Amino acid sequence: MLLNAVILQNMIAYSILSLIVGGITAVLSYFHLKLAVIIYFSGIVIGFINLYTMFVKDTNGWGDLTGFMSYLAWLFIGFISGLMVQFVLYLYKKVKQK
């Protein structure tokens, strides 16, 4: 049960975050960066699992903030590592062509 009321400002913030995450995924898919999409998606999944466990723990009222910050950290880690792996694969294919 929610202890706080759901307000329009929170719904708008979550919608904007969803559009950003979806937009990043769409751009990666558009450029056919398959490994980057898979790694980014795994970062999203790990972030959601971490977010959920922090919400359930409820560490003295800080569970929501720490869960959300860990979610954002896993999003960032997934995005950057996906791009790095995709770049290494690109360099490998370039060297292999020569």
Average confidence (pLDDT) over 45-62? 85
Reduced to 3 states (helix: H, G, I; strand: E, B; else coil), residue 6 is coil
Q: What pLDDT is attached to residue 57? A: 81
pTM as predicted: 0.85
| pLDDT, tens only, 8-17 | 998 999 999 9
Taking the C-alpha atoms of residue 45 and residue 33, their distance in angstroms, rounded to an integer, is 18
CA 46 → CA 30, 49, 74, 96, 97, distances in Å? Answer: 23, 5, 7, 33, 36
Question: Residue 55: phi, psi to the nearest 5?
Answer: -65, -40
Does residue 70 surpass a pLDDT of 70? yes
CA 52 → CA 6, 23, 37, 66, distances in Å? Answer: 18, 23, 22, 11
Does residue 84 surpass a pLDDT of 70? yes
Helices (H), 1-98: 8-30, 34-57, 63-97
Residue type at 87 in one-letter notation: F
Taking the C-alpha atoms of residue 63 and residue 51, their distance in angstroms, rounded to an integer, is 8
